[in-house]
Structures are given as C-alpha cells and as structure tokens.
C-alpha cells in the first residue's frame, strides 16, 4: 500500500465533492434570482442523500462482483470495505479510499441534471427522482464500464473518468426530463437571463479546480497517467473556452463571460473519458471539437427543436461526453497509458467500434429508464410545481426563504 497514492486519491475525492457544491454557484448564477436557493438546496440535498445511498447499496451495486450488468450486495452497508486494498481495483490504496472517491462521482452525476429542469421542479419530486435514478441508472452504468465483470469493461470500452458514466448519462436524462416537465412559464418569449454572472464565474473556478481531482484522481495513483490527465484537463478546458468565445466574437461581435465559461465546461466534459489515454495535443483537439459541436447543439439544435433545457445540460454535458468518448476511440495511445488501447488513428479500428457500441447502449438504456422513472415519480408525488409557485419562485414556494433582502 502506498501512502502517497492514498493521500492523492483522498485529496482527489475532496476535489470532486467541491465540484458538486461549486456546481450550485455555476447553476445558481445562471437562473433568475427567485430560484437561486432552490439550485443550492438541490445540490446540497444530493450531497447528503446520495452519500448515504452510496454507502448503503450504491457502491456495492456498482463495484461488487456480480454479473455483467449489476454488482451484488456483497459490499452493502460497507460490509468488508475497510483499510485494506481491494485488489480488483487497486493494491496501493485502502478499499475505503476507493469507495469514497467513486462515491463523489455518484453524487455529482444526478446533480448535473438539475440544470435541465431548473426553476420548475418540486423539491420532493426532485429528491425521489434523483434517488431512483442513482440506483437504477447510475449504478448499473458504473458497473458496466468500471465494475469488475461489467460487460462493456470486458469488451475493452474505455471511459477514464466518466464521459459516459457521468456526462452522457446526465445529459440524456436532462433531455428526457426537460421534455417531461415541459417548458418554463413564459419560455422562450420572456427574458430569462442569468441573475449573477460573477457567481457563474465562481462556479466555473470551483469546477475547473475540482476537475483535476475528477480526472487526475481516476488514475488511482500519483503517477505519469495522473500527470497526463491533469495536463489534458487544463488543455481541453482552455481550448474549448477560447473556441466558444471566438465563435461568439465572430457571430455576435463580442465574447461573453457566460459563453467562455460554458465552453470551458464543454471541454472539461469532453476530455473526461479520454484524459488518461491521450496526449496533450489530442486533448487540445478534443477541446476545440467539443466547443464547436456543443455550441451547435446549444445555439442551433435547441432552438430548432424548442425543448427547454434551462441550463444546457444536454448540449454541454451530454453532447460533450459523447464527443469525447468517441474521440477517445480515435486518439487513445498506449504511449500515454500502457494499460489502455490504441485508437483508430494509431492503428486500432476495433477500439472505435467498441466506443460507438458503448455510447449507443448507454444512451438507449439511460433514455428508457429515465423516462420510466420520471413518469413513475410524477404519478407518486408529482414533478412540476404549480403555476403560482413557479411565478413566485422556487426559493419561497419550496424552501420558504429568499437569497436577497431586496
């Protein structure tokens, strides 16, 4: 067991938790002032509820030995999860450290979906949906791709830190849920501009900083692969942020803070699955491509189809995750990570086909299960607030408090 690797993974887990709470600032600044506390409470609620779900059954369903589709309950209630390593995943860190690090991913993934139905969902319906979604969607996908014996893992599918497990799943769920709930009252005819852009920037800062733990920590060791993941994370975010800003500059005559921040997040989402398998130059390509493709979905596809994905979770995280996962099948290099494969551009066309298979299967599974869960929760407790509560704002109608005194 390695003290250095253990410290690195524990610190990375803390960085990923920082991302969930930082997401509250990013999303909170983008909504109207009457809904900012609802965003903060949703992020905080998930940090509490899903941390408990994870230690009770979530970790076991995701990472315990089971079948090709789901883990067993061998590790339920953290049975057998202690200070010794779990050789199935790492021989250098305590099993508890691995469990905690993976748990932070399980918390932030449903939190990303918040942006799709911002300003119109009941808090009770939100919590129940998120809990069921974590158990029925996130945990199986994590087992398919990262768990010992998962069917996509056995195929050789690569997803270093969650392009599919986190970003594709959250993005597809976001699209389904924003359609199920319907558009915000007044959308798109009434202005619904961000109420606090400096808060958005603070959220980006926390997310970008935390993403070094998100991607780098997924090496599970302080080694050369972690170093590549760190450099690639920063490179893709920077390339995507400036690309998005340039698109706005050319199209509208000025780059915006919100646009550059959105682009950076798109780059971070896209590089996530490839971060431990590609070179920094490839990460730059991923960043530029993610900005171009995600911008198209946010600025063109969303307007054409008319769905109200309030904060562009599908266009940024879903499309970004899909883009990066497919590009990993093109750009992966054994030179970077000897434990990984080469991609299509480095002589291995099979890897590209495996990536397409994993993306397609995960997309369909997430879409179908999210639709079923959303419908079920709507019948049980209801999903959408009343028109009166929506007009008043979720801060006062759901939480009996306001963020600002005037």
For 290, list phi and psi in degrees, rounded to 5. -65, -40
- Tens digits of per-residue pLDDT, 378-387? 999 999 999 9
Residue 95 has pLDDT above 80, yes or no: yes
Mean pLDDT along residues 37-66? 98
Total residues found in the chain within this entry: 406
- Tens digits of per-residue pLDDT, 100-142? 999 999 999 999 999 999 999 999 999 999 999 999 999 999 9
Asked if 273 contacts 160 with a C-beta cutoff of 8 angstroms, the reply is yes
Q: What percent of the chain has pLDDT over 70?
A: 100
- Domains in the chain: boundaries: 3-399
Helix, coil or strand: residue 109: helix
Helix, coil or strand: residue 189: coil
Asked if 344 contacts 190 with a C-beta cutoff of 8 angstroms, the reply is no
Banded pLDDT at 405 (limits 50, 70, 90): confident
- Tens digits of per-residue pLDDT, 299-324? 999 999 999 999 999 999 999 999 99
- Tens digits of per-residue pLDDT, 165-204? 999 999 999 999 999 999 999 999 998 999 999 999 999 9
Banded pLDDT at 368 (limits 50, 70, 90): very high
pLDDT of residue 8: 98
Helix (H) or strand (E) holding 43: helix 36-53
For 3-399, CATH number out of 1.10.8.50, 1.10.3430.10, 3.30.420.40, 1.10.238.10 equals: 1.10.3430.10
Average pLDDT score over the chain: 97
pLDDT of residue 125: 98
Residue 406 has pLDDT above 70, yes or no: no
Residue 395 has pLDDT above 80, yes or no: yes
- Tell me, yes or no, if the pTM score tops 0.85: yes
Alpha-carbon distance 145 to 234, whole Å? 25
Sequence-distant (≥ 6) Cβ neighbours of residue 142 within 8 angstroms? 62, 63, 102, 105, 106, 165
Alpha-carbon distance 367 to 353, whole Å? 21
Alpha-carbon distance 381 to 97, whole Å? 36
pLDDT of residue 135: 98
Mean pLDDT along residues 262-270? 98
67: number of Cβ within 10 Å: 11
Alpha-carbon distance 16 to 374, whole Å? 27
């Amino acid at each position: 067991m390695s003290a250095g690797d253990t410290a690195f993974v524990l610190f990375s887990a803390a960085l990923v938790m920082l991302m969930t709470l930082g997401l509250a600032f990013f999303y909170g600044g983008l909504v109207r002032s009457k809904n900012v506390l609802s965003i903060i409470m949703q992020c905080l609620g998930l940090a509490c509820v899903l941390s408990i779900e994870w230690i009770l059954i979530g970790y076991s369903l995701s990472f315990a030995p089971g079948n090709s589709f789901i883990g067993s309950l061998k590790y339920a209630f953290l049975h057998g999860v202690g200070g010794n390593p779990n050789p199935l995943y790492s021989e250098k860190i305590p099993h508890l450290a691995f469990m905690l690090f993976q748990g932070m991913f399980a918390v932030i993934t449903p939190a990303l979906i918040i942006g799709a139905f911002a300003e119109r969902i009941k808090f009770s319906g939100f919590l129940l949906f998120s809990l069921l979604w974590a158990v029925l969607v996130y945990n199986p996908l994590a087992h398919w791709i990262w768990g010992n014996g998962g069917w996509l893992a056995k195929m050789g599918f690569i997803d270093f830190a969650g392009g599919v497990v986190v970003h594709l799943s959250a993005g597809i769920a976001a699209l389904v849920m924003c359609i199920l709930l319907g558009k915000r009252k007044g959308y798109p005819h009434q202005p619904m501009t961000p109420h606090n852009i400096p808060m958005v920037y603070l959220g980006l800062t926390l997310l970008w900083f935390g993403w070094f733990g998100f991607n780098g920590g997924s090496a599970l060791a302080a080694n050369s692969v972690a170093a590549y993941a760190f450099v690639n994370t920063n490179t893709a975010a920077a390339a995507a942020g400036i690309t998005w800003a340039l698109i706005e500059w050319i199209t509208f005559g000025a780059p915006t803070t919100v646009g550059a921040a959105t682009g950076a997040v798109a780059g971070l989402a896209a590089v996530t699955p490839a971060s431990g398998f590609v070179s920094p130059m490839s990460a730059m390509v991923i960043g530029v491509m993610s900005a171009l493709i995600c911008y198209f979905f946010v600025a063109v596809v969303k307007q054409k189809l008319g769905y109200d994905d309030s904060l562009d979770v599908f266009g940024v995280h879903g499309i970004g995750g899909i883009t990066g996962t497919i590009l990993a099948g093109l750009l992966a290099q054994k030179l970077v990570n000897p434990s990984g494969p080469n991609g299509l551009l480095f002589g291995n066309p099979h890897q590209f086909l495996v990536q397409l298979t994993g993306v397609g299967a995960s997309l369909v599974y997430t879409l179908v299960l999210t639709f079923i869960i959303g419908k079920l929760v709507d019948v049980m407790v209801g999903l959408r607030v009343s028109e009166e509560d929506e007009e008043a704002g979720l801060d006062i109608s759901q939480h009996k408090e306001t963020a600002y005194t005037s």
